[in-house]
């Protein structure tokens, strides 16, 4: 398998896109450390499914916005699994509001989780990747970080920041044989998307050339490719998974 013997860390892995990413990495041979802010029936089921594949799985409850938690989580992964080879930053929230109504708390929460959280985990793995001379980093951004979105100033700003962070880290870690890329999903069928007003979902569907929302596994397949040796000459890229929604 593509990722036999590799150890992957996936933030926000307990649900939705993150869960699909963790499962696909495991199907392709990776051991997986699941980082999520709470343990529940879904995270337990995910851990059991990965374990049933014969992979090692580690669940860690952590607040990705907490710098100290991130460092301690990576230390625990190294202690339990032996190394870290792959980091997938996926954890995120949305607190939508137009700019004249958004609160400071809504702004700070989204930036802290969706952007600072990515920095926290990249900062934690960067010394390890430099020392071992290899590593794969995949950051989940959004097409709305590339184009903006009405009512999502905080979310779009964070996702745009992820793109800038991705390109910078790609430059800084290239000499250590580390690939750092971002993916930019469009409308994907998750619980977060299902909670949107019907009007918003209808407008999004009108934008998508393929006429349907994407599925979490369609994002996961690209992540697995970017974590494999088949992508070894790809770095600093932002790849859309949106059925043509951005066009």
Name the residues annotated as catalytic.
Answer: 155
CB 60 within 8 A of CB 72: no
Please state the separation of Cα 140 from the chain's center in Å: 4
Q: How far apart are CA 201 and CA 151, in angstroms?
A: 14
Other CB atoms within 10 A of residue 63 CB: 17
Q: How far apart are CA 44 and CA 75, in angstroms?
A: 22
CA angle 42, 44, 45 (to 5 degrees): 65
User: Residue with structure tokens 């990722």?
Assistant: 3
Residues with Cβ within 8 Å of 124's Cβ and at least 6 positions away in sequence, in order, are 70, 71, 73, 74
Q: How far apart are CA 223 and CA 2, in angstroms?
A: 12
Helix (H, G, I), strand (E, B) or coil at 223: helix
CA angle 28, 29, 31 (to 5 degrees): 125
Left if phi > 0, otherwise alpha if psi is -120 to 50, otherwise beta: which for 82? left
Q: Which of 221, 232, 214, 228 is nearest to 24 (CA)?
A: 221
Other CB atoms within 10 A of residue 186 CB: 21
């Amino acid at each position: 398998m593509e990722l036999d013997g590799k150890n992957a860390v996936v933030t926000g892995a307990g649900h939705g896109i993150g869960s699909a990413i963790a499962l696909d990495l495991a199907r392709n041979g990776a051991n997986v450390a699941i980082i999520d802010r709470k343990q529940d029936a879904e995270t337990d089921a995910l851990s059991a499914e990965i374990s049933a594949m014969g992979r090692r799985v580690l669940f860690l409850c952590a607040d990705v916005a907490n710098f100290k938690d991130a460092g301690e989580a990576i230390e625990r992964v190294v202690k339990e699994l032996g190394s870290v080879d792959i980091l997938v930053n996926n954890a995120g929230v949305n607190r939508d509001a137009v700019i004249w109504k958004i609160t400071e708390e809504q702004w700070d929460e989204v930036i802290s989780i969706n952007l600072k959280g990515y920095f926290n985990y990249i900062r934690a793995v960067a010394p390890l990747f430099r020392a071992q001379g290899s590593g794969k980093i995949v950051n989940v951004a959004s097409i709305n970080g590339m184009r903006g979105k009405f009512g999502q100033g905080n979310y779009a700003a964070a996702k745009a920041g992820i793109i800038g962070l991705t390109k910078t880290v790609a430059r800084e870690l290239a000499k250590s044989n580390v690939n750092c890329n971002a993916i930019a999903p469009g409308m994907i069928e998750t619980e977060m998307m299902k909670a949107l007003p019907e009007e918003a979902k209808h407008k999004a569907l009108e934008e998508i050339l393929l006429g349907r929302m994407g599925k979490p596994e369609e994002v996961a397949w690209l992540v697995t490719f970017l974590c494999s040796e088949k992508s070894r000459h790809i770095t600093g890229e932002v790849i859309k998974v949106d059925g043509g929604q951005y066009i």
